[in-house]
Amino acid sequence: MPRSIPVSVRSPVAIVAWAANLPILHAVLATPSRGLDAMDESHYLMAAQPWASDKAFNGMFGWYSGPLLRAVGEDLGRLRVLAAVLLVVAALVLARAVRGFAERAGGVAWPPALRALVPPAVVAAALCYYTVFVRTPSYNWFAAVGLMLLAAGLLEVLRGPETGRAAVLAGVLVASGAFVTAVGKATTALAAALVVALAIAVRAVTVLWPGAARTGRRALGQAALAAMAAGLVLAGLHLTAVHSLSFTVATYQRVSGMLSVVDPGHYAPGTLGPAARAGLRNLAIDRPRPFLGLLALPAVAVIVVLLWRWLAGRLPRAVAAPGRGAPIRPGWWLAAAHALAWWVTLAVVLWDYPGGVPGLGMSIPPLIVAGEAALLVAALALALHLLDRPRPPSTVDDRHPGPDAARDRHPASALLAAVALFALGLAYPVGTNVEYATQLHGGFPVLLAAAVIGLSALPDGAAPAAVASLGVGALVLGAVLVPTTRLVAPYRIAPMAEQTVPRQIVPGTPEVLVDPTTAAWIDDLRALGVRGGFAPGTPLLDLTWHPASVLILDGRAPSVLLPAFPGWPNVAGSAQFALRQEEESVWSAAWVLVPFGQDDALTAPATAVVGREFPTGYELVGTVTAPYDRQVQGLWRPRG
């Protein structure tokens, strides 16, 4: 076991590393009540409203983000701060698990400088969740937090024969991480659960920590029992304090039915597998394609090492003697190969990073390449480890083995854990119907953890340097991605400097700073509501994909997703499906917000479900111009 080395938070490395996080934290936490996207972000805020506690727009995340919002007094700014703090806490839990596993796999305690570097590096990777700069907690936020907890628990389970409290804690982390992930994205949770189950099964049947088979199996049993108990407790709390099993199942049936209607190409039952495979290929091969050649560097390093050894054994003693005092060290060659792949990819991507949505897909190659290269390095390190057993007496003093002796390292365990974590990171966007590469940022900390674990069992004392290279690069990556997006192109809103006008998004709640265009839209929409006699709590059928309108008018939305989204293949079908889940007697009195000039053939099928014809069954109250896309919207009230 590696000895414990304390590290002070006042060490120079800790100070510098946490200071590197300040630009990211400033970007996320400075003026947290500034800015609100009237589309996606308002959808997340709408799901958290008290009246939506029995709805599920595209999952049950609102059932849990709602209590968080009410705990901070309905203050959106405080909710965003709380979300960022919880993200950081989960990252620190993951960082601790990574250090513990890496030290055991490497057979040596990390130096204090490295212990000080890795936690802020993992936090920087976690804060890359805000690369798109949507700060209101969404289903993706729950998936990001849950995957970090799940990865931490998995590392604790795979770490070794730790029984008692450590095994129980590992099981609780696994169950908690799986539950939080499922709250956000059931598809991601399912994929992650399969990865975790497979990794633990391999661990159960393989003696990866020599001499610890019996203790290891007992620890696995304790962790499994703790996970099952914690899972039952969490499920019980959900069923007693949130919603019943029948309601939860019915809700997911409605949500899955809605998804299969709006986008059958991605969500129909027969297309889920092919869509997921195509998305994973997009992450692992398609997007980093220009950099895949760099993955050959570790193999080249190993070839050089083996060739050197072969030559040294066959050259005359007089020729080989000069090299005997300074043998080639495969660990350092592998570490250098990985660092070159990592830093070349990082430099190319950040050289001209545009920020915002244009930069989403292009910003993922560094951590993808780092993870893939680390898996190769771990596999090659394991191969060298097996080739070197038993180690020649001339190179190892068996009476006084050093900390890097072959028997102290466990590269097989490192490879298993790295593969599992890499798969967990790639599971983050599973289930989305857009390009997977644009949705991966919440998986960055798990991908970073996979790369660290893959390098942890390098021989020759090279592991700390290789991990330090990753940590420094992660700090640089986060410090560029998030502040650049905040400054250049925050998602679907004007630049932060223009968010200066205070408005209540939901009447009666603390104000949010918005840009003048958004403020004018809010004022005009509320004025139309007053003119037409719109009462709080009135159902509002929003066909514009600007769900902030429901919040601004203090209306009510259908129970699944939103009625229509112009970007989906089946606009009319989505509206019809949503309204078939509602009471016709209630929704026949719903007002309608429609893009002005939209073909009535898209609006009429939705209103027909609730027994009204469009436009003859409605009266136009007036029009407003929405922010960001400048869409002209007509507000209609039902006749009679």
For strand 618-625 and strand 632-638, is the pairing parallel, antiparallel, or unpaired? antiparallel
CA atoms within 13 A of residue 2's CA, in its CB half-sphere? 26
Distance CA 419, CA 414 (A): 9
**Burial (CB count within 10 angstroms: exposed 0-12, middle 13-18, buried 19+), residue 287:** buried
Per-10-residue mean pLDDT of the chain, 640 residues long, equals 52 90 94 91 93 88 96 96 97 96 91 94 97 94 98 91 80 96 94 94 68 68 90 96 94 85 79 87 92 92 80 57 58 94 96 90 95 95 79 42 58 94 96 90 97 94 95 97 91 90 95 95 96 94 87 92 65 81 88 84 85 92 90 92
C-alpha distances in Å from residue 175, one per residue of 61, 150, 172, 226, 515: 17, 7, 5, 8, 42
Burial group, residue 605, by CB count within 10 angstroms (0-12, 13-18, 19+): middle
Answer whether the bond into residue 502 is a cis peptide, omega within 30°.
Answer: no
- Please answer whether residues 91 and 106 qualify as being in contact, where contact means their C-beta atoms are separated by less than 8 angstroms: no
Q: Is the dihedral of CA 317, 323, 327, 333 positive or negative?
A: negative
Q: Are strands 591-595 and 540-542 parallel, antiparallel or unpaired?
A: parallel
Distance CA 490, CA 473 (A): 23
Query: With contact defined as beta carbons under 8 Å apart, do 277 and 593 qualify?
Result: no
Amino acid (1-letter code) at residue 584: E
Domain boundaries, the chain: 12-160+290-488, 515-638
Helix (H, G, I), strand (E, B) or coil at 523: helix
CA distance 116 to 111: 9
Contact indicator for 252, 267 with CB cutoff of 8 Å: no
- What pLDDT sits at residue 324? 47
Tokens found for residue 377? 């390095």
Q: What is the pLDDT of residue 552?
A: 96
For 128, 486, 489, 494, 627, the CA distances from 497, given in Å and listed in that order, are 21, 10, 12, 8, 16
The answer for residues whose C-beta is within 8 angstroms of residue 278's C-beta and 6 or more apart is none
Residue 301 is predicted with a pLDDT of 86
Q: In whole angstroms, give the CA distance from residue 549 to residue 634.
A: 12
Number of other residues whose CB lies within 10 A of the CB of residue 317: 7
Q: How many CB atoms lie within 10 A of CB 394?
A: 7
CB 475 within 8 A of CB 17: yes
Eight-state DSSP code of residue 284: I
Whether 458 and 418 have beta carbons less than 8 Å apart is answered as no
Residues in the chain: 640
